[in-house]
């Protein structure tokens, strides 16, 4: 140990300077470790809070009309995808946007999930099954909309794969 080489009985200032440097270095190392631990804890708490904020967004009563429109769009209900797509295109832009609120929320959530910005365990617990169920109903629509842009809903699909739900 370094302290064994220092003569504590000496009144030599060099020895005391070495001790003080060791103490300052030790304090700095402990402070750095503490800062790293605190940063990890803070980031984890932030990811959890952000994830819980998404649960509030999905369960907001104002979103019920959007969910109803999404369900109407994705449920083929005895018709085929071509007929439903033509019906969707005949809707007003407001109706089309209403129908896409939930899929877009899933896409936004998925992008954050895929980047590690939200708590993955909580996200899977709260959103995994609903996201998978809506995805299954939306498969025909996603295939159709990807004809114009292949990147539509790729984050959502990636999230479901990472959750082992697809």
Burial class (CB in 10 A: 0-12, 13-18, 19+), 135: buried
Asked if residue 23 belongs to a domain, the reply is yes
CA dist 147 and 151 (Å) reads 10
Asked if residue 7 belongs to a domain, the reply is no
Asked if residue 5 belongs to a domain, the reply is no
H helices of 59-92, in order, are 64-74, 81-90
Which tens digit of pLDDT belongs to each residue from 27-67? Answer: 888 888 888 888 887 887 888 888 888 888 888 888 888 99
pLDDT at 114 over 80: yes
Asked if residue 4 belongs to a domain, the reply is no
Range of the domain at 47: 13-162
Asked if residue 2 belongs to a domain, the reply is no
Asked if residue 6 belongs to a domain, the reply is no
CA dist 67 and 128 (Å) reads 17
Q: How many domains in the chain?
A: 1
Which tens digit of pLDDT belongs to each residue from 59-76? Answer: 888 888 899 999 999 998
DSSP 10: -
């Amino acid at each position: 140990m370094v302290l064994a080489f220092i003569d504590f009985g000496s009144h030599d200032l060099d020895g005391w300077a070495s001790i003080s440097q060791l103490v300052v270095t030790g304090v700095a190392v402990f402070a750095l470790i503490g800062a790293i631990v605190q940063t990890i804890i803070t980031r984890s708490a932030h990811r959890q809070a952000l994830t819980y904020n998404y649960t509030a967004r999905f369960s907001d009563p104002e979103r019920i009309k959007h969910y109803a429109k999404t369900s109407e769009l994705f449920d083929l209900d005895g018709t085929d995808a071509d007929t439903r797509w033509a019906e969707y295109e005949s809707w007003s832009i407001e109706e089309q946007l209403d129908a896409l609120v939930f899929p877009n929320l899933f896409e936004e959530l998925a992008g954050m999930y895929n980047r590690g910005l939200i708590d993955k365990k909580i996200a899977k617990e709260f959103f995994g099954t609903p996201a998978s169920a809506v995805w299954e109903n939306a498969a025909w629509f996603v295939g159709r909309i990807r004809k114009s842009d292949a990147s539509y809903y790729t984050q959502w699909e990636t999230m479901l794969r990472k959750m082992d739900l697809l």
